[in-house]
Amino acid sequence: MGAGRYNALALLRGAITGHRHWGRAWRAAEPRGPYDVIIIGGGGHGLSTAYYLAKVHGIRRVAVVEKGYIGGGNTGRNTTIVRSNYRQAPLQSLFEYSLKLWHGLSDELNYNVMFSPRGALFLGHSDADMARLAERGDAMIANGLDADLIGRDEVARLVPLLDMSPDARWPIEGGLIQRRGGTARHDAVAWGFARAADSLGVDIIENCEVTGFLREGNRVTGVRTTRGDIAAGRTGICVAGNSGHVAGLAGIKLPIESHTLQAWVTEPVKPMIDTVVMSQTLHCYFSQSDKGGMVGGGDPDFFPSYAQRGAPIRLEDSIAQSIALAPALSRLRMVRSWAGVTDMSFDGSPIIDELPLDGLYLNGGWCYGGFKATPGSGSVYAHLLATGQSHPLAAPFYLNRFADGRTIDEVGSGPMPQSR
């Protein structure tokens, strides 16, 4: 790391020297193939894949090619929630693996990603909700995860601003909390992985858009880009939101559609809510950032789009629901809303597999839940790209599961992404 290690002492030194000793967090690399592995997409998943390739598998001739700036897609557009409280075992295992990595990530990367396990709380609004939450919690614990089913009183203690009155539109009966879940600083995750991967020799090539694939028969041998052809032994697509487009450059259709998901943030205020609050009955979620803004979101926009912009009705819905749960939110002011493009797979679960062309791999289909998977996704994808074999945790997420009838449908809503 040209910049030197990050620690308090180095900051102190900077205070004296005007912080002139800090170097670039990652080099502005030029393409210089051939590479062992090219990763398309410089989001958190792509950068973490590169890092684990170099760190765990010793493969250092690796390039990450990014069409814009790193972390500029969904990595920088999410609501920063980290959790593994899924119902289906394969998802639990994959996200829990990721959650464990989150817990050591700042030290691992020597970059404070501000992972803050402040608890991820699902609210229950009826006896039936509570039974479903208990089922989820039981499944989690049975699979080695942490979960606590808590009653009204504890919910009220954790989040005093919730409307606990019995005649609320959605009365709160209790909740399921995963205390090891929480939030992280989303941009820092991309930057931290970039810096750590760079220090291991990975080339991070920004402003380099893939426009096609180099082919020898049925084998992909690299990528065509706006900065020239780059050869590679293996090529990994890691562009969730744009998986359909990039796979389309290789003539492959996927069980994925790109949809819009919006989010909002309010003006910063002093600490108001400590826990990440979510309601699956209502389709809304919110938490408070370290800067003080309440960050939240709700349903996607329900139709395919790459536009990165949404409709106000979706914002109105998620805000109305959030206010119904925490009425004091009403007087805060929204300072910004934004939209990302989500890779909606046709069972709601990711796809991590080799594609029908030799040497071409896919990591995508994360729907609106990819951020929390960042380290785990990179780790298992690196395994696939390094060995050609699926990591056991990623094996259930193979592409042919749709044709085989082995879909992993967490919500049980079937193949139409807009029903999710």
Residues 363-402 within binding reach of other proteins (CB under 8 A) = 402
Is residue 103 a contact residue for other proteins (CB under 8 A)? Answer: yes
- Do 49 and 378 meet the contact criterion of CB atoms below 8 Å apart? yes
Residue 31 gets which letter from DSSP? P
| Residue 84 to residue 233: CA distance in whole angstroms | 33
Name which position in 142, 153, 216, 219 contacts other proteins (CB under 8 A): 142
Is residue 268 a contact residue for other proteins (CB under 8 A)? Answer: yes
Is residue 1 a contact residue for other proteins (CB under 8 A)? Answer: no
- Do 393 and 328 meet the contact criterion of CB atoms below 8 Å apart? no
Q: Choose between 51 and 382: whose C-beta lies nearer to other proteins.
A: 51
Per-residue interface string for the shown chain with other proteins, residues 175-204, x marking contact by CB under 8 A: -x-----x--x-xx--xx------------
Name which position in 31, 43, 137, 298 contacts other proteins (CB under 8 A): 137
Q: Choose between 257 and 354: whose C-beta lies nearer to other proteins.
A: 257
Per-residue interface string for the shown chain with other proteins, residues 2-41, x marking contact by CB under 8 A: -x--xxx-xxx-xxx-xxx-xxxxxxx-------------
Name which position in 1, 57, 337, 358 contacts other proteins (CB under 8 A): 337
Name which position in 291, 387, 389, 392 contacts other proteins (CB under 8 A): 291
Site for other proteins in 44-83 (CB under 8 A): 68-72, 76
Is residue 239 a contact residue for other proteins (CB under 8 A)? Answer: no
Alpha-carbon torsion (182, 185, 189, 190), positive or negative: positive
Q: Which residue has the tokens 């089913």?
A: 149
What 3-state DSSP class applies to 57?
coil
Strand partners, 259: 304, 342
Name which position in 200, 327, 395, 398 contacts other proteins (CB under 8 A): 327
Is residue 277 a contact residue for other proteins (CB under 8 A)? Answer: no
Is residue 43 a contact residue for other proteins (CB under 8 A)? Answer: no
Is residue 151 a contact residue for other proteins (CB under 8 A)? Answer: no
Question: Closest separation between CB of residue 381 and other proteins, Å?
Answer: 21
- For the chain, the C-alpha Rg in angstroms (whole number) is 21
Is residue 324 a contact residue for other proteins (CB under 8 A)? Answer: yes
Alpha helices in 18-168 (DSSP H): 44-55, 89-103, 105-109, 127-142, 152-158
| Residue 266 to residue 336: CA distance in whole angstroms | 7
Is residue 280 a contact residue for other proteins (CB under 8 A)? Answer: no
Alpha-carbon torsion (309, 312, 317, 323), positive or negative: positive
Q: What are the phi and psi torsion angles at 172 (to 5°)?
A: -105, 115
Q: Which residue has the tokens 């939030």?
A: 183
Is residue 212 a contact residue for other proteins (CB under 8 A)? Answer: no
Site for other proteins in 108-127 (CB under 8 A): 110-112, 114-118, 125-127
Number of residues that bind other proteins (CB under 8 A): 136
CA atoms within 13 A on the CB side of 68: 9
DSSP, residue by residue, 78-99: S--EE----SSHHHHHHHHHHH
Is residue 334 a contact residue for other proteins (CB under 8 A)? Answer: yes
Question: Closest separation between CB of residue 11 and other proteins, Å?
Answer: 6
Beta-carbon contacts of 114 under 8 Å, excluding residues fewer than 6 positions away, are 106, 183, 184, 185, 188, 290
Question: Closest separation between CB of residue 303 and other proteins, Å?
Answer: 4
